[in-house]
Amino acid sequence: MDRPDIVKKDISDFTIKPNMDNYDSFCEDFSWDLMKKEIEFFVDGSINAAHIAVDRHVQRLGDKVAFHIIGEDWEKHPTYKDISLLSNKFANVLKKQNIEKGDRVFIFLPRIEEMYISFLGILKTGAIASTLFAAFGPDALLDRLSDSGAKILVTDSSLKERIKDIRNQLPELKKVIVVGDDAGDDIHFWDEMNKASDKFDVEHMDPKDPAYMLYTSGTTGKPKGVVHTHYDIVQQHLTTKWILDLHKDDVYWCTADPGWVTGIVYGILGPLSNGVTSVVDARRFSAEKWYGIINDYKVTVWYTAPTAIRMMMKEGSDITSKYDLSSLRHLASVGEPLNPEAIWWGIDSLGLAFHDNWWQTETGGILIANYASMNVKVGSMGRPFPGVKAAVVDENGVELPVNTEGDLVIMPGWPSMMIGIWNNKEKYDSYFNNGWYYSGDRARMDDEGYFWFVGRADDVINSAGHRVGPFEVESALVEHPAITEAGVIGKPDDMYGEIIKAFISLKKGHEPSDELKQEIKTFIKGKLAGHAYPKEIEFRDNLPKTRSGKIMRRVLKCQEMGLPVGDTSTLED
């Protein structure tokens, strides 16, 4: 069936008027300084993102559920008052352990209540919070904990086992706080919480003081610690309100794990700042469970990823008839380009279009989006957020004509822009040139100001919305006793966007086999996160390298895709 390229919107058709009802007029009247009134600064001009997210709501919304947290055989429904008091308690637990402003406190937990309490409690002390994806293996943990100099780690009794063998390599890690019965010689989370006061004077922070940091992968070197500030919450509040279109009575569901930036920004800070009730699903994915959540909790706004949508599509449309999904009124997607088929599936199966949007760990909030009140050009990233100047430029930073591919750049100065890469000023500076922030993405802009994603300008792999740096995977691969060298690429995949494919040369005495492929996959799963292992492995006698010995991923990808290899003058003879 032929589909139109545009999903038309008419403001008169909305039963609830969108928070941003006219994009052009909002852009025309916009200033970041005026928008500060949306949040609550302290009288001295200081700020604390945790206070803005939770504490300021308690008097008015204290009894309102902040999170419906759903486990396999349990549920928790903490209110805004619960979260406020419990995060106060955790702040006091940290103070008892001599945590001070600027110290790094990391969280390595699944999606349980203690994760949210800990994150907000850390911010209240003025320390810098960071979350670690619960699927990380020891090597991924060592890289992040070592680079950051984390002083305290909050984990649970099962995940703690992954720390055991690397703990002696982390001299700056002073204490481990454990959720669960088996704390051993470490600090028991609830023992300390039960002794702590629920009164805490939230630290007053300069708006540009660091609040949290998250590690993101690149093409070379170890993952980089992207540092964000308390002032981020201005943009996080507004983008949640205007792009995700949250209203006070909404039940909102962001499916992202808090180990990733979306789970922090649009799973914790943005929705709490807007005073809404969120759903958290701590279980393994299944389409039946997800439809059941929408049915049971009357979810109104749903923010998810294209891979998840495709997994729902794979189950077929018949399953949707078993559930009442009529509560849904707005759908959004992020993490990777949203293919047109997913948008049309949403319209056919749910009666609503998914709205794509674009941003990065480094940007701290959505910068380009399809808005609830605006026509959706199917396949487009949308238009820039008010106050954000985006452009497509050539190699000299000069803006290109419409419908011309180039580098996607942003004019620096939006509130949630990162302030640094931890201990790596050179890397931070590399993002900026010619007066622009360079995203590393290639794009084009049409004559109506809609942006269209073309691809990455580097080798970073986007698998199911997770950024995976090839260097990190290659480094783990060559630790296997049978492997002498490895090159990793992203291979296009209908379900995951890209999958990781590894090209491997073996040491003498080792022969290629299916058994060895499986052994290598298992080996990587034990060192990195589950999403970072190669789904495909190809053995080769030699890998293409430059004369200086650098593996040419570009050549490997061209060979895999059957594309011309291009200039090979720098290759080894």
Distance CA 460, CA 475 (A): 15
Q: DSSP character for 1?
A: -
Is residue 546 over pLDDT 80? no
> Kindly report the CA angle at 138 between 106 and 538, in degrees rounded to 5?
130
Distance CA 182, CA 156 (A): 8
Residue 334 CB coordination number (10 Å)? 25
CATH T-level assignment (fold) for domain 6-442: Rossmann fold (3.40.50)
What string of DSSP letters covers 315-355? Answer: T-SGGGGGS--TT--EEEE-SS---HHHHHHHHHHHSS-EE
Distance CA 97, CA 520 (A): 41
Confidence of residue 549 (pLDDT cuts 50, 70, 90): low
Distance CA 280, CA 109 (A): 14
The answer to whether domain 6-442 and domain 461-561 are alike in fold is: no
CATH T-level assignment (fold) for domain 461-561: GMP Synthetase; Chain A, domain 3 (3.30.300)
Extents of the domains making up the chain: 6-442, 461-561
Give the per-residue pLDDT at 211.
98
pLDDT tens, position by position, 186-207: 999 999 999 999 999 999 999 9
CA distances from 163 to 178, 258, 295 (A): 12, 19, 39
Is residue 548 over pLDDT 70? no
pLDDT, average across residues 205-221: 88
pLDDT tens, position by position, 493-503: 888 889 999 99
What is the percent of the chain with per-residue pLDDT over 90, rounded to a whole number? 72
Question: Which of 559-567's residues contact partners 24+ apart within 8 Å by CB, and which partners?
Answer: 560/489, 560/491, 560/501, 561/492
Whole-model pTM: value is: 0.86
* 32: exposed, middle or buried (Cβ count in 10 Å: 0-12, 13-18, 19+): middle
Q: Which of 260-264, 307-311, 344-348 has the highest mean pLDDT?
A: 260-264
**Residue 563 structure tokens:** 């594309």
Q: What is the mean pLDDT of the chain?
A: 92
Distance CA 288, CA 547 (A): 53
Distance CA 242, CA 20 (A): 5
